[in-house]
Every structure is written in structure tokens, then in C-alpha cells.
Amino acid sequence: MTTLKDVAEAAKVSPTTVSRIINGDSSLKVSDGTRETVQQKIEELGYRVKTKRPTAGNKVALITALSEERSVNDSYWQSICLSIERHAKDIEITNLIRLSDDFQKHQLEMYDAVILVGDLSEQSINQLASINPNLVAVDSKAEHIHVTNIAPDFEIVMKEILESLQANQYQAVAYIGGMNRLQDVQTGQAVEALDDRYYMYQSWMKSHGQADYSYIGEWDAQTGYDGVEKLLAQSPTLNAIIVGSDLVAMGAMNKLKELELVPGKDIQVISFDNLDFSQYLNPSLTSVDLNIDALAQMAINQAVSLAQAPRDWMANIKIPGKILYRDTYQG
């Protein structure tokens, strides 16, 4: 089956240019000769141009590389998917499509735009974008991707946390988090990528001449439990822990309680995600609200914008978070 990418390669232009010519984009600045070449290659290769349905909305595919099990157990990604579905009022959006199922990637051409959630490798994302250039990624950790990416601004909020800890004389600060694993759709293998929160922590500690107490595992409660055990054995004088997610923080707090250490009194704990349960823990968990609804709404807005007017440039949009101070941090 001939794809948009095949036509683009034959005409020696980008897939975005082919898409804009097909859709009659009058703002596209290309020569008449280029337009004629593209039309000629469409005919020669037998590419089937999809006719837009006469509907007021745009058809958007919501896709993920997450397994069904992780989609259920990973509250962060689950919240993003649910928020996208909830805010998709003016567009026709699919149910969550798993790339790990029998879904054929070339079917992405059927959609006006695509929203991707979950961690995919750079190669996989760029491959999907070559099939449908109107692709929007949500919180992609991959570098050098040629798509619009909507992500939390971890840099600003991590700086705020570290400055607050320093101002309140908490000098022995640890970090516990998970390793990001970016899936490759074709091989099924995963590439490891450091998380921005961990990178910011390391950079801060180094630039301020402070010791690096960190533990990296999976994004689960066991990592928090094991991290506290190891780090306190390594440095019993720790007085603050930054945790990469609320789920990891649950395990960390359980271990602290076993050691008869009270979060917020004996040791400060600050987490990320502000999942529903965080405010009901005892003591209640100080956590960064990543503004999931804003991430979802911006992803939808960008998808609709691309569907209505494809472009040959991509945006990297950062959404600021907010620290919600509760019992586990006395700042």
C-alpha cells in the first residue's frame, strides 16, 4: 500500500508538503512545478487520497505504546488519557489504540491528527510522524523528535523545590525516582533515558557543592521503599527526600514509618503528580500538581490546529506545575 511518505520521497519533498498540497493549502509557498510533481507521483504510485468527511469535527487518533496492564496501573498516564477523552468535546477521538496490538501503523493516515501518550523511542516517534506528520506527543522523553511535544516544566518546579529546601537549611537532600524506558515499536526493545527531575537534581547538587544521594529504579512503590532503606543506610543524616512520583513516594513513606521516622517532622518528603490519594495519606503528601488537564487540553488544541492547517515546524510546549504544600514538608 502506497503511503504519504512514499509520495514525498518520490517527489523529493517532505510528507508535510505533500499533505498540504493534497489539502489545497493556499498558504504553502512552493512552485507550480513542485505541485505538479507531487500530483504526478500520486497518480504514478496509485496513492489513495482520502476525502475529508463533511463533519464539523476532526478525527483524531489517541495512541499509546503502553501495555494494557501499565495503562491501568500507571496512574500518571491513565490520568492523561482520561483527561484527553474528557476534554475532546469538539473533535471525533478514537478509543485508546495500542501500538502493541494488531494495529497497522499505516492506518494512521486515516486520521486528521494523532495524539501519542506513553514513552516511545526517538526512531519510533519519527517513523510515526513520517506516516502522519500531524502528530502531537504528550510528555515524550525522546530527544530529536520531529513532532510537537507537550510536557510538564520540571526544570522550573525542581528549581523552586531545591531553592526552598536550601532556604530552610535542608542540606542533606536525596532523590528517589524511576528510569524512563522508551519503547521501540519495531524491535520491542527499550532504550533508557534519564528523567528531567533526576537530571535537575544532579545538576543542582553539583553546582552547589552538595553530595548526591540518589536511587533510581522502576516507577513503583517498591523503588521508594528500597530507596529509603539504601539511602538512609548510606547517609543517616538525610533530612529531605524529593521523590519522582506519588506512587514511589507511597513506598518511601511506608519504609520511613517502619523506621519510626515521621515524614514532615523527622525528614521532609516532596513528591510529584498530585494523584488523588496523595492528600489522604497520613501524613498528607506534599506533591507537585503537573496540571494534567492543561496538558490534555493543549494536546487537543495542537492536534486540531495541525489538522486544520498542517505546518512544517514543530512546537515544544512546557506546562508549569504547582507545589501543593501539605504535612510532609515543613518549609
pLDDT tens for 198-255 read 999 999 999 999 999 999 999 999 999 999 999 999 999 999 999 999 999 999 999 9
**What is the phi/psi pair of residue 182, to 5°?**
-90, 115
- At residue 101 the predicted structure's pLDDT band, cuts being 50, 70 and 90, is low
3 state SS of 302: helix
Taking only the tens place, the pLDDT of each residue in 128-159 is 999 999 999 999 998 888 899 999 999 999 99
3 state SS of 270: strand
CB atoms near residue 169 (< 10 Å): 7
- At residue 55 the predicted structure's pLDDT band, cuts being 50, 70 and 90, is very low
The pTM of the full predicted model, rounded to 2 decimals, is 0.79
Average pLDDT over residues 42-57: 62
The pLDDT score that the predictor gives to residue 25 is 59
Angle between helices 15-22 and 4-11 (to 10 degrees): 100
Q: Which of 6-15, 45-54, 88-97, 253-262 has the highest mean pLDDT?
A: 253-262
Q: Which of 74-83, 104-113, 194-203 has the lowest mean pLDDT?
A: 104-113
State the sign of the Cα–Cα–Cα–Cα dihedral 227, 230, 231, 236: positive
The pLDDT score that the predictor gives to residue 54 is 37
The secondary element (H helix, E strand) that includes residue 182 is strand 180-183
Place of cell 510528507: 15
**What is the phi/psi pair of residue 116, to 5°?**
-110, 130
C-alpha distances in Å from residue 184, one per residue of 109, 120, 150, 218: 20, 6, 20, 18
